[in-house]
């Protein structure tokens, strides 16, 4: 995916930025109106899941308009399609979300800019209706992970810990407990929740149980006696997906790093302050959603300006399509935890 695949005058993108809060408010009001006038269970299924995505989708549009990145809009629409199809309303809900942004653009921004901003959304709507935007397939977990998923959903932390200890006794590498067991289990829990096969409380219970396991894993597995390298792990600013960052921090600790974990939602300036104080050799940033790309790029720019400059590795679902932009800014992009570990070690060996 390239960062520029079409023209959009800068004035149109600037108008979108200037009116963002008003546009998002108009979209929310329209969704509420549709919800009031649509009858029956279909109304609830269609509108219940959308309000929480209004601002996040708007942030994605900021990235798309600023970068003229129409392919990203189509690919992310496929992700929304998979998410909302699993929750019930499917393509109709994605169509409503897109249409609501189109209506808001025409209602607040004057021609010709409103037409320029709305056309990519209308094209994606046409592609959705024609079946040219496939939903992302959420594959079931491997069989060997199913038992762990059962324990996590039940909140059976002690028994899940015994399960992982038995895996170690059978010869599993410590890091594999995360990459081959806990992460696939989390993906399966997400898939089951999206398919409405889990209650919301079960998804929360499972997530909290995973976080408890991640905190105790280093005590279960042998570690190098004296960590020689320092790593700092953080979500990018505004990213709330802290479980992936915690899993990465634990993985790196099991691989012999001394790890400082900042969790979620810290501003870029605070991440930079932590780097200045803790002096890590490498900084690992988790970018779960492409809509937070601008925050990721701003953080990378802030950290690459430092001396001495730490090795920067960015990973997560949102990082992979933005590899070109992130690497041009001075970071390395990793597809998974082992690759991120290898990239950091490779950069440090050449420093």
Whether residue 296 contacts residue 287, with contact meaning beta carbons closer than 8 Å, is answered with: yes
Q: What is the pLDDT of residue 89?
A: 60
Q: What is the pLDDT of residue 299?
A: 97
Same-domain status, 83 and 104: yes
Distances (CA, A) of 349 to 6, 276, 318: 40, 22, 27
> Which bin fits 62, alpha (ψ -120 to 50), beta or left (φ > 0)?
alpha
Q: What total of structural domains would you count in the chain? A: 3
- Residue 33 CA to residue 55 CA, distance in Å, equals 18
Domain with 333 in it: 229-349
Same-domain status, 253 and 215: no
- Residue 48 CA to residue 36 CA, distance in Å, equals 12
Greater confidence (195 vs 261) lies with 261
DSSP reduced 3-state for 283: strand
90-95: long-range contacts at Cβ-Cβ below 8 A with a sequence spacing of 24 or more? Answer: 91/128, 91/129, 92/46, 93/45, 93/46, 93/47, 93/49, 93/50, 94/128, 95/125, 95/128, 95/129
Whether 79 is covered by a domain: the verdict is yes
Same-domain status, 213 and 233: no
CA nearest 296: which of 278, 315, 311?
315
Q: Which two tokens stand for residue 288?
A: 């779960």
**pLDDT digits over 18-47, tens only?**
999 999 999 999 888 877 766 554 555 555
Task: Give the residue from 159, 190, 220 where a domain finishes.
Answer: 220
Q: Is the pLDDT of residue 48 over 80?
A: no
Same-domain status, 245 and 310: yes
Q: Is the pLDDT of residue 80 over 60?
A: yes
Same-domain status, 209 and 291: no
What's this model's pTM, rounded to 2 decimal places? 0.89
**pLDDT digits over 202-227, tens only?**
999 999 999 999 999 998 887 666 66
Whether 182 is covered by a domain: the verdict is yes
CATH code of the domain containing 271: 3.40.50.280
Whether 202 is covered by a domain: the verdict is yes
**pLDDT digits over 118-162, tens only?**
999 999 999 988 888 776 666 777 888 999 999 999 999 999 999
Whether residue 287 contacts residue 239, with contact meaning beta carbons closer than 8 Å, is answered with: yes
**pLDDT digits over 152-167, tens only?**
999 999 999 999 999 9
């Amino acid at each position: 995916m390239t960062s520029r695949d079409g023209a959009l005058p800068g004035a149109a993108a600037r108008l979108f930025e200037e009116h963002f809060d008003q546009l998002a408010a108009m979209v929310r009001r329209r969704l509420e109106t549709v919800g009031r006038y649509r009858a029956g269970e279909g109304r609830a299924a269609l509108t219940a899941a959308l309000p929480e995505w209004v601002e996040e989708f708007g942030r994605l549009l900021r990235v798309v308009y600023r970068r003229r990145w129409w392919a990203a809009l189509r690919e992310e629409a496929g992700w929304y399609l998979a998410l909302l199809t699993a929750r019930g309303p499917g393509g109709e809900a994605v169509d409503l979300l897109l249409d609501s942004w189109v209506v808001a653009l025409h209602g607040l921004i004057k021609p010709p800019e409103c037409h320029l901003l709305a056309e990519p959304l209308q094209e994606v709507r046409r592609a959705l209706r024609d079946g040219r935007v496939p939903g992302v397939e959420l594959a079931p977990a491997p069989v060997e992970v199913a038992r762990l998923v059962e324990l996590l959903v039940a909140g059976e932390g002690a028994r899940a810990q015994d399960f992982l200890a038995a895996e170690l006794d059978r010869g599993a590498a410590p890091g594999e407990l995360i990459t081959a067991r806990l992460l696939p289990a989390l993906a399966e829990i997400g898939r089951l929740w999206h398919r409405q096969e889990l209650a919301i409380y079960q998804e929360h219970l499972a997530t909290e149980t995973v976080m408890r396991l991640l905190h105790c894993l280093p005590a279960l597995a042998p570690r190098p006696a004296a960590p020689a390298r320092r790593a700092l792990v953080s979500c990018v600013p505004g990213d709330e997906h802290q479980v992936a960052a915690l899993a990465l921090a634990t993985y790196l600790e099991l691989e012999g790093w001394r790890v400082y974990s900042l969790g979620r939602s810290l501003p870029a300036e605070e991440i930079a302050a932590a780097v200045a104080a803790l002096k890590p050799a490498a900084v690992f940033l988790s970018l779960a959603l492409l809509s937070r790309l601008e925050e990721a790029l701003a953080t990378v720019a802030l950290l690459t300006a430092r001396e001495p400059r730490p090795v920067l590795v960015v990973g997560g679902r949102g990082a992979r399509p933005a590899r070109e932009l992130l690497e041009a800014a001075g970071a390395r992009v990793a597809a998974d935890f082992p690759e991120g570990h290898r990239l950091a070690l490779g950069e440090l060996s050449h420093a």
